[in-house]
Amino acid sequence: MSTESSTSAGKALDSRSALTPATVASGATGAHDVDASECRSTRAAMHDYLNRRLQPRRQRRFEAHMDGCVECIRAFIHIRELSWKRRAADQPPRG
């Protein structure tokens, strides 16, 4: 897996603030018409992407799709935020 990523999805994975709902709402994602089957495939791979379990070729395909699909970006943001909440809930209390 590449450690450098210049795609929207890669930036979102690398930084909690890189891809916010405001970014999506602004249309800064470069949306264009996409294939519904590619959306289904991309959404099925989101958890594996967050857990860095995609093969390099599949990761590139995932990121390329995310660069052009606003709906998948919205779904990714939702899944990513749920993942953070679950991770925070699993942490022992500090103090």
pLDDT (tens place) for every residue of the chain, 95 residues total: 344 444 444 444 443 334 444 444 444 444 456 689 999 999 999 999 999 999 999 999 999 999 999 999 999 999 999 999 998 998 887 76
User: Do 66 and 7 meet the contact criterion of CB atoms below 8 Å apart?
Assistant: yes
User: Do 73 and 25 meet the contact criterion of CB atoms below 8 Å apart?
Assistant: no
